[in-house]
Amino acid sequence: MNGKRAAFQELDDYLGTSSPVWKFSGAGDELVLSREGGPNEPNLRVRLSARQAEEIRRLTGVTTVLIHEVKIFGKPVELHLVGKKINGAEWAGVAAVLRDSESVAKNSMQALAFAEQVVSEVNSIVVVLDRAGTIHRFNRMAEEYTGYKEENVIGENAQELFMSPDEGRSSRSNIALFFEQGRPYDVERVIETREGSRPFLFRNRFITAEQSAEPGFIVCSGVELAGAASGEITARRGDEPPSLSESYALDVLHRIMDWASMVDGARALLAGLDDGSIDPRSLAHAKRIVASAVRDAYGLYEDIDARLSSSARQS
């Protein structure tokens, strides 16, 4: 067994996993590895160079891959890191030794299951929120409208930053209902921008958390409603679908591309079955990825059917 292969075997033996969670604090220069990222778990501290630490500090809310050469148990190892900024002073993700191809494939697919579902449309605000309204992604158009940089809003609350108290309460109620019913719908909302209050139509959809088949985040993709008065803003429910449009067709194409990426990644995980070396956990993860794509496909089918019916009634 060569040194690099021994390193990831020792990592597995010490932490109980070959795909540990990594965490990094902006105040230090050490990467902390642990099985699940809990405060009371055994951990392994990995010293980073000043350049490596600075590269991590430059990460935003976009899931990113880095490869750093470090020492683990005294052995030089190339460490594959998938992660992002999670709040104002912390970064986190999953790690694997680069030579451990199965763990690297699994970590990369976890990134795909989250990051590849987020399409930063050129002409739309795209914000990713969790149940509490915490910001996990903030695209370039959102930066231009609000005057805030993504790295400065990751981990902050969207309702508190960009909505009036009444709008914030309404938004929290909507999001709670989305997760309760398992079905988001389009919503018109007034947002505080650098130019003042502006009305937007937000198309909302779920994406799953990395370790679960359940919805973990909601992607809010918004366009400004030109000429609308803020007093006229109302929630648009799923039973009143917008008519078919070019932008909707593009969204459908983007979602199909998402599924292709997810399924290709699942196939990469299943390729390990050929030599009998795949971990059952990887197989379960591949199943969750494909299940998520299937659920989204059925949801899209129902959405298209509703829009076609609406267009037929209007014609």
> pLDDT tens digits, residue range 198-220?
999 888 887 655 444 456 788 88
How far is the C-alpha of 80 from the C-alpha of 99, rounded, in Å? 9
Confidence of residue 3 (pLDDT cuts 50, 70, 90): very low
More confident residue, 146 or 274: 146
* Cα torsion through 94, 28, 52, 36, rounded to 10: -10
196: alpha, beta or left, given left = phi > 0 and alpha = psi -120 to 50? left
Return the CATH number of the domain spanning residue range 3-99. 3.30.450
3-state SS, residue 297: helix
Pair 15, 35: CB distance under 8 Å: yes
pLDDT tens-digit readout, 234-291: 444 333 444 455 555 556 655 665 555 556 556 655 665 555 655 666 666 666 666 6
Per-residue pLDDT of 216-230, as tens digits, reads 788 888 888 865 444
Instruction: Judge contact between 244 and 307, C-beta under 8 A.
Output: yes
Instruction: Check residues 46 and 296 and name the one with the higher pLDDT.
Output: 46
Report, as an integer, the average pLDDT of 33-46.
86
Looking at residue 156, its pLDDT comes to 93
Q: What is the CATH number of domain 125-241?
A: 3.30.450.20
Provide the CA 57 distance to its chain's centre, in angstroms. Answer: 19
Confidence of residue 4 (pLDDT cuts 50, 70, 90): very low
Domain with CATH 3.30.450.20 in the chain: 125-241
